[in-house]
């Protein structure tokens, strides 16, 4: 909320300047986000001297002036005939600035003549009612100077952030009240003469049909009024507060709202049919054309102010165009009401329509302040608009406001805050929040009607703490028993995986949980795959972020794209994060690991660069298998529709699929404008983490006592023969003392025939109780080779 400092000064004896007041409010809980001079926001309005005045042919109404700001000479067109003479120093609003009334000033061109700004009248500069002359300055005034600085005119505005619980502070009076609570500076309230309550008989009737929505409704009639623009001081304050002046009646309602926090509404009584104001809930489908030119349709929860025939206003929110006060208005009905905040909010939410009025009603207006506001508006209308007559006040009070007393145990203050606050201080604070009575063990406070945010003892403790000052409360440490804290094994293993990948050169990425549905479509999931049906956001930021990801691949692919477009071509990236599926409850959330490997190895002086291949990725997944300590099974030819079948695997744990990896299809790489090759893996960690177990003592390998001996076996085999089959065969062959084995060399080329290759396996043997001699192992290996030769049609080399 914008608080013009001069306005605030009318309601409280200020004993400090804007900066200090801002500090006090901020440390009292009303954060002042900014202090600025309103006139500075208008832009460059400067003094210029008129050098020459011409009447060029073809510019009937306009004069062409040559002016200078002391540095440059430039032309300005003006219609102020007879007021501009060479040598005169005037105020120029430069292009890009605004007049006081928010009229934008731009470079203009009329019949080929350019104008670099606009001369301001005192009125256009917001300085006086004088519209007829130009704002001018004595001859010795410096040129190019800021006009408002020359005139020493300023208006400091405090931009105050009001938290949603403090509807009572949404007014100048409310801020003053709060400031007084924090400082004890005396308040000043305008004197409202009791005669303001009187008047001739009412001109119409008021009925409340919707008692759930409207607790109290007051109004009065004014007749014989002349609607014109309001005096400058009212317009100025509205403008300082960010509101646009309309006419005297509407401006007064807004002025009082800003001043006291009570929204008011004025009707053109001539437009009301049947002589009656009815507060009722809307009928489904009723329609009203609003002041903002938009037609809205109501539903039964909306509350209307209506006459006997038609809706007039969406209660507490916005009025209809037809019943609004305009120049033709002769009789006015002025409303001051206390609406149910919940009902107002239901309507603002449904219609997505928030106004200064609804904002205040939603945050609770002061039920005891409604009449005061009506009287204050009456006072101003009598003074400014001078109606011929006005009516008594009609007051329909349906739901009485009943404050709830709060009992605050004396002991609780210290128990809660950790400090003893002097009793007289506590009493002084509480007495400014409501009617205070003291009992032996507790204070009883009946909060004032404007402090509806206070309802429990803790609320009062907060008031005491903030008025006393948070900084005066000491800094201590909690006492409490020590207790066991366990680190979940899931977090431990996730950290381990991250560290592992990072040490391999991978970068951890974090990408958005919402993705473009097009990317999901691009992955080509089959219809019965749950990943094909992401949960959509009702109100996404953009279509690129409109569904929850069902896979980590879209994010990784976009990251690859982002980087490759910025000349980072070789990529090793991963993400550990959640994917979301449609679930029985809110959603099924699963933690996945996604890996993307793209491009080539780095060129090095000791190593040729080469594109990443399937064995790079397979090796990483094999190592992850060791870290996760679970026996995955790699099934070649993945089912994933976006992977190249011949270069991919599905990962299984038993009969459960726990991931996949392989080469991302080239067509999709092209569609995404990526560089080949792209290798991806996704592992469903959630399926693996629960079964993860730390090393058991049975698994610990003791250092061997006797040395091992190894034996190499070279075979010439068909290229199509699977190495894994041979390894498995040897494994199961039952060689005694075989410790481990490994493929150590593949050779293709002469003298090996083209359809064959040479495979070399190394077999290590070790006995637990003696040193094995080569001769002991050799016959076993020879026999193995013989068997392999027969079984796999291979030749020893």
Q: Which is nearer to other proteins, 107 or 419 (CB)?
A: 419
Token pair recorded at residue 797? 């080399």
H/E/C letters for each residue in 586-641?
A: CCEEEEEEEEEEECECCCECCECCCECCHHHHHHHHHHHHHHHCCCCEEEECCCCC
Q: Which 584-613 residues touch other proteins, going by CB under 8 A?
A: 586-587, 589, 602, 604-606
Please report how close the Cβ of residue 28 comes to other proteins at its closest, in angstroms. 6
Residue closer to other proteins, measured from CB, 282 or 413: 413
Residues 189-248 binding other proteins (CB under 8 A) are: none
| Residue 28 binds to other proteins (criterion: CB under 8 A) | yes
**DSSP-assigned beta bridge partners for residue 604:** 607
Which range binds other proteins by CB under 8 A, 148-156, 414-422, 521-529, 687-695? 414-422
> C-beta of 411: minimal distance to other proteins in Å?
12
Element (H, E) at 790: helix 774-792
Under rule CB under 8 A, residue 179 binds other proteins: no
* Binders of other proteins in range 606-665 (CB under 8 A): 606
Q: From the CB of 565, what's the least distance to other proteins, in Å?
A: 10
Scanning residues 441 to 470, which ones bind other proteins (CB under 8 A)? 456, 458-459, 461-462, 465-466, 470
Q: 382, 436, 568, 716: which one contacts other proteins (CB under 8 A)?
A: 568
Nearer to other proteins, 480 or 631 (CB): 480
Site for other proteins in 355-394 (CB under 8 A): 362-363
316 Cβ neighbours under 8 A, 6+ residues apart: 263, 303, 337, 339, 344, 357, 358, 361
Q: Please, what is the minimum distance in Å from the beta carbon of residue 530 to other proteins? A: 14
Residue placing its CB nearer to other proteins in the complex, 22 or 76? 22
Beta strand extents in 5-107 (DSSP E only): 31-37, 45-54, 63-68, 73-78, 89-93
| Beta bridge partner(s), residue 53 | 65
User: What are the phi and psi torsion angles at 82 (to 5°)?
Assistant: 80, -10
- Residue 269 or 580 with smaller CB distance to other proteins: 580
Name which of 243, 31, 271, 69 is nearest 158 in CA terms: 31
Beta bridge partners of 297: 287
Residue 718 pairs with which residues in a beta bridge? Answer: 756
Q: With respect to other proteins, which residue has the nearer C-beta, 179 or 573?
A: 573
Strand partners, 8: none
∠ CA 148-151-155, rounded to 5°: 55
Please count the residues of this chain forming the interface with other proteins, following the rule CB under 8 A. Answer: 88
Burial class, 792, CB count within 10 angstroms (exposed 0-12 / middle 13-18 / buried 19+)? middle
* Smallest gap from residue 51 Cβ to other proteins (A): 40
CB of 479 to other proteins, least distance (A): 7
Write the burial class of residue 291 (CB in 10 Å: 0-12 exposed, 13-18 middle, 19+ buried). Answer: middle
Candidates 76-84, 89-97, 128-136, 342-350; binding stretch for other proteins (CB under 8 A): 342-350
Among 480, 631, 734, 750, binds other proteins (CB under 8 A): 480
Residue ranges in 139-168 that form contacts with other proteins under rule CB under 8 A: 163-166
Q: What is the token pair recorded at 25? A: 């409010």
Sign of CA dihedral 432, 438, 442, 446: negative
Which residues from 504-563 bind other proteins, rule CB under 8 A? Answer: 504-514, 535-541, 545, 548, 559, 562-563
Among 485, 695, 696, 698, contact with other proteins (rule: CB under 8 A): 485
Instruction: Tell me how far apart the alpha carbons of residues 81 and 84 are, in angstroms, rounded to a whole number.
Output: 7
Q: How far is the CB of 506 from other proteins (least distance, A)?
A: 4
- Three-class SS string for 360-427? HHHCCCCCCCHHHHHHHHHHHHHHHCCCCEEECCEEEECCCCCCCCEEEEHHHHHHHHCCCCCHHHHH
Min dist. Cβ of residue 480 to other proteins (A): 5
Q: Which is nearer to other proteins, 121 or 171 (CB)?
A: 171
Listed ranges 259-267, 274-282, 338-346, 670-678: which one lies at the site for other proteins (CB under 8 A): 338-346
Interface positions, 487-506, toward other proteins (CB under 8 A): 487-488, 491, 498, 501-506
The piece of 126-134, 136-144, 479-487, 619-627 that touches other proteins (CB under 8 A) is 479-487
Residues in Cβ contact with 402 at an 8 Å cutoff, skipping those fewer than 6 apart:
none
Least CB distance from residue 750 to other proteins, whole Å?
32
Rule CB under 8 A: is residue 578 a binding residue for other proteins? yes
- Write out the E strands in 111-254: 113-115, 118-119, 136-137, 156-161, 205-208, 214-223
**Residues in Cβ contact with 607 at an 8 Å cutoff, skipping those fewer than 6 apart:** 601
The CA distance from 539 to 24, in Å, is 39
What's the min distance (Å) between Cβ of 564 and other proteins? 10
- CB of residue 536 to other proteins, shortest distance in Å: 5
Q: Which residue lies nearer to other proteins by CB, 328 or 586? A: 586
Residues 90-109 that bind other proteins (CB under 8 A): none
Distance of CA 283 to the CA centre of its chain: 35
Q: How many CA atoms lie within 13 A of 574 on its CB side?
A: 22
- Which residue in 309, 276, 266, 268 sits closest to 205, CA to CA? 276
- Segment interacting with other proteins (CB under 8 A) among 224-232, 337-345, 397-405, 723-731: 337-345
Nearer to other proteins, 539 or 696 (CB): 539
Among 71, 152, 479, 773, binds other proteins (CB under 8 A): 479
């Amino acid at each position: 909320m914008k608080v013009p400092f001069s306005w605030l000064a009318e309601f409280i004896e200020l004993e400090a300047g804007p900066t200090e007041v801002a500090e006090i409010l901020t440390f009292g809980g009303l954060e002042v986000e900014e202090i600025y001079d309103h006139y500075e926001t208008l832009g460059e309005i400067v003094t210029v001297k008129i050098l020459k005045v011409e009447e060029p042919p073809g510019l009937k109404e306009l004069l062409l002036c040559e002016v200078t700001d002391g540095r440059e000479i430039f032309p300005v067109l003006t219609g102020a005939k007879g007021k501009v003479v060479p040598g005169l120093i005037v105020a120029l609003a430069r292009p890009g600035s605004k007049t006081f009334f928010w009229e934008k000033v731009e470079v203009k061109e009329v019949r080929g003549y350019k104008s670099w700004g606009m001369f301001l009248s005192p009125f256009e500069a917001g300085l006086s009612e004088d519209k007829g002359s130009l704002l001018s300055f004595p001859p010795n005034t410096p040129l190019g100077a800021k006009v408002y600085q020359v005139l020493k005119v300023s208006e400091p505005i405090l931009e105050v952030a009001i938290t949603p619980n403090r509807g009572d502070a949404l007014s100048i009076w409310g801020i003053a009240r709060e400031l007084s609570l924090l400082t004890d500076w005396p308040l000043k309230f305008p004197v409202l003469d009791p005669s303001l309550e009187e008047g001739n008989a009412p001109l119409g009737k008021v009925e409340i049909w919707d008692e759930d929505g409207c607790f109290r409704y007051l109004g009065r009639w004014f007749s014989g009024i002349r609607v014109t623009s309001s005096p400058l001081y009212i317009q100025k304050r509205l403008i300082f507060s960010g509101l646009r002046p309309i006419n005297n009646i509407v401006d007064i309602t807004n002025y009082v709202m800003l001043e006291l926090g009570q929204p008011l509404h004025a009707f053109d009584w001539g437009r009301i049919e049947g002589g009656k104001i009815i507060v009722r809930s809307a009928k489904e489908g009723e329609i009203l054309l609003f002041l903002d030119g938009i037609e809205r349709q109501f539903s039964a929860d909306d509350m209307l102010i209506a006459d006997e025939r038609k809706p007039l206003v969406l209660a507490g929110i916005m009025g209809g165009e037809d019943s609004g006060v305009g120049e033709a208005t002769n009789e006015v009905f002025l409303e001051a009401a206390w609406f149910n905040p919940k009902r107002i909010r239901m309507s603002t939410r449904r219609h997505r329509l928030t106004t200064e009025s609804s904002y205040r009603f939603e945050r609770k207006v002061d039920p005891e302040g409604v009449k005061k506001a009506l009287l204050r508006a009456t006072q101003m209308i009598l003074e400014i608009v001078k109606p011929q007559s006005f009516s008594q006040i009609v007051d329909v009070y349906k739901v009485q406001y009943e404050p709830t007393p709060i009992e605050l145990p004396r002991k609780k203050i210290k128990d809660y805050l950790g400090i003893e606050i002097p009793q007289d201080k506590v009493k002084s604070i509480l007495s400014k929040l409501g009617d205070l009575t003291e009992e032996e063990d507790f204070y009883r406070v009946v909060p004032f009607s404007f402090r509806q945010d206070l309802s429990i003892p803790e609320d009062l403790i907060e008031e005491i703490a903030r008025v006393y000052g948070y900084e005066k409360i000491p800094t201590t440490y909690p006492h409490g028993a020590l207790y066991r804290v366990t680190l979940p094994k899931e977090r431990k293993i996730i950290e381990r995986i991250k560290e592992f990948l990072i040490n391999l050169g991978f970068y951890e990425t974090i990408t958005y949980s919402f993705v473009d549905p097009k990317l999901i479509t691009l992955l080509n999931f089959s219809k019965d795959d749950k990943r094909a049906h992401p949960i959509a956001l009702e109100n996404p930021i953009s279509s690129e972020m409109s569904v929850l990801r069902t896979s980590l691949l879209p994010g990784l692919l976009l990251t690859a794209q982002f980087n490759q477009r910025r000349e980072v071509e070789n990529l090793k990236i991963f993400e550990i994060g959640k994917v979301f599926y449609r679930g029985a409850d809110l959603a099924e959330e699963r933690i996945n690991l996604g890996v993307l490997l793209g491009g080539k190895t780095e060129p090095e002086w000791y190593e040729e660069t080469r594109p990443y291949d399937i064995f790079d990725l397979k090796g990483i997944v094999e190592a992850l298998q060791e870290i996760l300590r679970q026996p995955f099974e790699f099934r070649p030819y993945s089912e994933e529709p976006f992977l190249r079948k011949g270069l991919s695997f599905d990962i299984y744990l038993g009969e459960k699929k726990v991931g996949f990896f392989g080469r991302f299809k080239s067509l999709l790489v092209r569609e995404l404008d990526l560089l080949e090759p792209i290798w991806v893996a996704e592992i469903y960690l959630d399926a693996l983490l629960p079964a993860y177990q730390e090393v058991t003592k049975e698994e610990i390998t003791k250092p061997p006592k006797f040395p091992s001996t190894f034996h190499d076996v070279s075979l010439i085999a068909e290229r199509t023969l699977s190495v894994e089959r041979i390894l498995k065969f040897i494994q199961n062959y039952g060689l005694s003392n075989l410790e481990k084995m490994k493929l150590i060399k593949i050779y293709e080329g002469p003298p090996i025939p083209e359809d064959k290759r040479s495979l070399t396996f190394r077999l290590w043997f070790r006995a637990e109780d003696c040193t094995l001699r080569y001769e002991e192992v050799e016959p076993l290996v020879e026999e193995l080779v013989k068997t392999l030769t027969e079984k796999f049609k291979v030749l020893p080399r």
